[in-house]
């Protein structure tokens, strides 16, 4: 048996190497409304207070609080969006709408439900009126000069809206890394093709491009590459020009046609080529021209699990995120699980919150590294550490949450 030239390293060492080699991309300026999901690369302050003027909270009448209840002379209307140029004197009132500036002189607004308009007068029916009633003071929500969004904030709908509020039309943000994705293998054909003997359809390119997108990065489809030195070279070189990172699958085992590792080694530095992990032992990480290159094993589950463990945190870091890990929880095994203790194993599970509050993990059937069905519908993976053997039903293990947790007894609309 030929020996791999690459030492077998632990998952933690592999992750530490990736963290050492992968850095955030330089920020860009983009229109704020196009920044959903991106990481903010500057501190954003409010130049003006919000609201910028004392504004009515309700539709009603602007009055002087000291006047108390009773009839009022109407001096005009103040709707939202302009200054009506009216003044509220003692004994007077102005009609006002929600969000309109409170006219000078007025120090309270009485909501329309507590008034009656009759005989050209506004009758205030409420009891005492507090100064400031129903008025949003200047700067109630945001003070002038306030830091509203610090550097590093992940921009969701609320954050995007706030950028609009403070008039930050262009914003510095971390851009999405462009990730070139290619499949390697002479046996692979496109999903639209009819299979000839010996052929299979390409799975990994589509899995990995979807996973890249879900991680907030932008996939660049470089197709299927044949197990030919020149094809591989041309496509890898193209990826180094057009993308920020490279993601391949297949061709990293010990077969004669496994050409990915040797090419990466010749062109750059292979930082590791074997990890104590199941599935995904031959997962490979290199840098070429300073760009991270991840070579996933060919078996579809190995490719996707390797992406989850090694590539996703790296892409998040490139995109400026500081929280790189998926949440982990403790879960109770619903059934016994076989585990070969040489490598840390990631098994696909469905995580369910039981009526008594316990979180249980049930493995999703046969865990073969080619059986992508074991990942379909899996909302978690359990981590079975190396050095430990089989696990009994009821054992507590660590689980990584991949999707929404099922609630036992929850009636789904089917």
> Residue 214: phi, psi to the nearest 5?
-65, -25
Of residues 133 and 225, the one with the C-beta less far from ligand AMP: 225
The reply on whether position 251 binds ligand AMP by CB under 6 A is: yes
Q: Is 255 in the site for ligand AMP (CB under 6 A)?
A: yes
Nearest distance from C-beta of residue 187 to ligand AMP, angstroms: 5
Report d(CA 401, CA 414) in Å as an integer.
24
257 SS3 class: coil
Q: Among the candidate windows 102-110, 147-155, 243-251, 359-367, which touches ligand AMP by CB under 6 A?
A: 243-251
Among the listed residues 216, 250, 273, 279, the single contact to Mg ion using CB under 5 A: 250
Q: Do the beta carbons of residue 98 and residue 57 sit within 8 Å? A: yes
Provide the CB-side half-sphere exposure for 227 (13 A, CA): 17
Binding partner at 188 among ligand AMP, Mg ion, none, C-beta below 5 to 8 Å by kind? ligand AMP
Which residue minimizes CB distance to ligand AMP? 298
Residues numbered 153 to 192 that lie near Mg ion (CB under 5 A) are: 185
For residue 146, the number of C-alpha atoms closer than 13 Å in the C-beta half-sphere is 15
Among 177, 279, 280, 300, binds ligand AMP (CB under 6 A): 300
Can you spell out the DSSP letters for 54-80?
-EESSSEEEE-GGG-SEEEEEEEEE-T
User: Is 297 a residue that touches ligand AMP (CB under 6 A)?
Assistant: yes
Near ligand AMP by CB under 6 A, which window of 29-37, 43-51, 200-208, 273-281? Answer: 200-208
Backbone angles phi, psi at 32, to 5 degrees: -60, -35
Q: Which residue, 27 or 273, has its beta carbon nearer to Mg ion? A: 273
Long-range contacts of 269-273 (CB under 8 A, 24+ apart): 270/6, 271/17, 271/18, 271/21, 272/6, 272/7, 272/9, 272/13, 272/14, 272/17, 273/4, 273/5, 273/6
CA nearest neighbour of 220 among 200, 238, 232 = 238
Residue 202 interacting partner from ligand AMP, Mg ion, none (CB closer than 5 to 8 Å by kind): ligand AMP
How many residues form the binding site for ligand AMP (CB under 6 A)? 19
Least distance CB 224 / ligand AMP (angstroms): 7
Q: Which residues form the interface with ligand AMP (CB under 6 A)?
A: 183, 185, 187-188, 200, 202-205, 249-253, 255, 297-300
Residues that bind Mg ion (CB under 5 A): 185, 250-251
């Amino acid at each position: 048996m030929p020996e791999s030239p690459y030492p077998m390293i632990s998952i933690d060492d592999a992750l530490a190497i990736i963290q050492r080699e992968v850095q955030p991309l330089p920020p860009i300026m983009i229109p704020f409304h196009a920044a959903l999901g991106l990481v903010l690369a500057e501190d954003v302050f409010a130049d003006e207070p919000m609201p910028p003027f004392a504004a009515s909270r309700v539709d009603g009448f602007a009055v002087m609080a000291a006047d108390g209840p009773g009839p009022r002379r109407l001096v005009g209307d103040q709707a939202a969006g302009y200054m009506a140029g009216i003044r509220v004197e003692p004994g007077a009132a102005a009609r006002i709408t929600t969000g309109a500036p409170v006219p000078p002189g007025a120090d309270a607004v009485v909501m329309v439900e507590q008034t009656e308009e009759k005989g050209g007068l506004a009758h205030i029916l409420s009891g005492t009126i507090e100064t400031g009633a129903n008025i949003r003071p200047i700067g109630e929500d945001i003070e002038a000069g306030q830091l509203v969004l610090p550097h590093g904030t992940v921009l969701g709908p609320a954050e995007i809206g706030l950028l609009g509020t403070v008039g930050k039309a262009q914003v510095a943000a971390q851009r999405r890394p462009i990730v070139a994705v290619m499949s390697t293998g002479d046996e692979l054909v496109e999903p639209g093709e009819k299979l000839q003997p010996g052929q299979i359809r390409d799975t990994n390119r589509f899995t990995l491009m979807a996973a890249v997108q879900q991680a907030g990065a932008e996939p660049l489809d470089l197709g299927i590459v044949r197990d030919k030195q020149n094809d591989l070279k041309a496509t890898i070189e193209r990826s180094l020009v057009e993308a920020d990172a490279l993601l391949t699958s297949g061709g990293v085992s010990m077969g004669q046609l496994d050409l990915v590792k040797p090419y990466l080694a010749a062109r750059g530095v292979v930082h590791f080529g074997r990890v104590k992990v199941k599935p995904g032992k031959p997962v490979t990480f290199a840098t070429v021209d300073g760009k991270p290159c991840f070579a996933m094993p060919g078996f579809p589950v190995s490719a996707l699990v390797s992406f989850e463990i090694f590539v996703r945190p790296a892409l998040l870091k490139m995109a400026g995120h500081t929280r790189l890990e998926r949440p982990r929880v403790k879960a109770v095994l619903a059934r016994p699980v076989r585990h070969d203790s040489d490598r840390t194993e990631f098994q696909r599970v469905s995580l369910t919150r039981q009526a008594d509050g316990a979180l249980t993990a049930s493995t999703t059937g046969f865990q073969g590294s080619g059986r992508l069905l074991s990942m379909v519908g899996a909302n978690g993976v359990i981590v079975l550490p190396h050095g430990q053997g089989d696990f009994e039903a009821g054992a507590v293990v660590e689980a990584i949450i991949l999707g929404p947790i099922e609630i036992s007894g929850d009636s789904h609309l089917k």
